[in-house]
Amino acid sequence: MPVFDFSSAPVDKKEAICTYTTFQSNNSVPTGDKPIMVLDNSKKKWNHHSSGIFTNPCKRTSFEFNEDDGIVSADILKIDSRFVSLLKWLGENHINVRLSGENNEEGYAVYKIRETLSGSGTKLSAEDGFLQFMIERLLASNAPSEEVIDDDREEEGDSMKLTSIQSITDFMNCAGRTLPDNIRLWARRNLAVARSSEVSQEERHHAQRALSIMMNIQWKNNYFEAIDPDEARRILDEELYGMERVKQRIMETIIQINRTHTLPAYGLLLVGPAGTGKSQIAYAVARILRLPWTTLDMSSINDPEQLTGSSRIYSNAKPGIIMDAFSMAGESNLVFIINELDKASSGKGNGNPADVLLTLLDNLGFTDNYMECMIPTVGVYPIATANEKDQISAPLMSRFAVIDIPDYTSEEKKIIFSKFALPKVLKRMSLKENECIMTDEALDEVIEIYKNTSGIRDLEQAAEHIAANALYQIEVNDVDSVEFNAKMIRELLV
């Protein structure tokens, strides 16, 4: 009696044929000379824009061109090693694409891939945005043995956000290697939770939300490009008058970054009276470093949970402010400007919110209770401001290089008022310099009135008041200009 074995695969089943070799590239902007992949064009020269689909790599690695005379197949000869997983995904899902390329001696050099409709028309939909999102991440990633620093890209996919489980899964399969190892493992565990039918809907929701937040952050390495010292000094001089010792300390930090290509081990703590420009210095440093920045106002944070997030066991759980800052910046390298560090309260008996910052400042990784994952912080540069050092704990102080910001002298205040504050206000009010004139006695009177106040905020408000009064007299009294003397200034400001 014959026996039929239905469980066995056919004997003549063909094995998958891989026609390409891989090459390593750090190129972030593909061109005809530096393509994503090269296809065989020995039998036919392909059009600059050609539509079709990649074949299922389980059968053969090729591209089927949709030509006027039918389907024509061409083998893939070589491909950028970063795009192997993406090629497999495109082939397995039979996604219609349009290639842009050039014919050269090597073959048809492809430098752009766009999703299309089943015909040749361009598909202007979220799917193409998702494809561009993955391509950009791959172009910005490093080849297996080298790192990619240049993040300039021809296509823009920043408006594309990963929110659905399917898009997150596809991103993990195609570009998961761009994530740090611990985040990649964390993502796979949370994907399992988000897909599981054995957990509550609330748990699945939290897992999906955490995945969406984490996947939409570009996790960069801790290599920093050299900064032009002359440009850094120009920015400091533009933002700050005087303060040579402060500028010198910041320039030392810039030179250190240029030598090591990494951020210093310690952030900056700017200590000084109110109104002396501490926040302005912090913004200037962020501008010099060419990094996004976020602000933490410690005087308004009364519970450590605001920083660390709440546990997923609660239905209204959410990430903390620090994790939100990463999400808003869209990348892991950023400047944290921590205002009023000395005013952080002890909160509701749950500890001091300021001390929660210790792990963030150590650059060892920060753990958010909602994310349940260690967040790399090697690309975070903290800059804190405070009025008094006595209110800051010793462990927290030890994480910063302290820079004392002195108050301005009377002569410095006079120069700042006459050369910076008043001209700035006049320009904003569309007043000419000869329409609002200050005598030397008037300038001295302004400084005398505010000699016991710290900083220059009062001087800026005085400039606003004087300019507004001049504008009023010009418009109402129909005069060409107003010249202020000491008596007029005292009557106006006192």
Q: Where are the domains of the chain?
A: 21-140, 179-215, 229-404, 410-493
Digit-coded pLDDT (tens) for 166-191: 888 898 888 888 888 999 999 999 99
pLDDT score recorded for residue 346: 55
What tokens appear for 106 in the block? 């090597």
DSSP 49-100: EEEEEEPPTTTB-EEEEEETTEEEEEEEEEEEGGGHHHHHHHHHTT--EEEE
Mean pLDDT, rounded, for 29-33: 91
Query: For the ranges 12-26, 281-295, 463-477, which has the lowest average pLDDT?
Result: 12-26
Q: Is the dihedral of CA 52, 54, 56, 58 positive or negative?
A: positive
**293 pLDDT above the threshold of 60:** yes
Q: Name the CATH superfamily housing domain 229-404.
A: P-loop containing nucleotide triphosphate hydrolases (3.40.50.300)
Answering whether pTM is above 0.85, one says no
Per the model's pLDDT, the better-predicted residue between 7 and 306 turns out to be 306
Mean pLDDT, rounded, for 427-434: 90
Mean pLDDT, rounded, for 123-139: 78
Element (H, E) at 336: strand 334-339
C-beta separation of 190 from 165 below 8 A? no
At residue 123 the predicted structure's pLDDT band, cuts being 50, 70 and 90, is: very low
Helices (H) and strands (E) in the chain, counts: 17, 16
**Considering only CA atoms, which of 45, 67, 36, 66 is closest in space to residue 54?**
66
**119 pLDDT above the threshold of 70:** no
The matching CATH number, chosen from 3.40.1440.10, 3.50.50.60, 1.10.8.60, 3.30.565.10, for 410-493 is 1.10.8.60
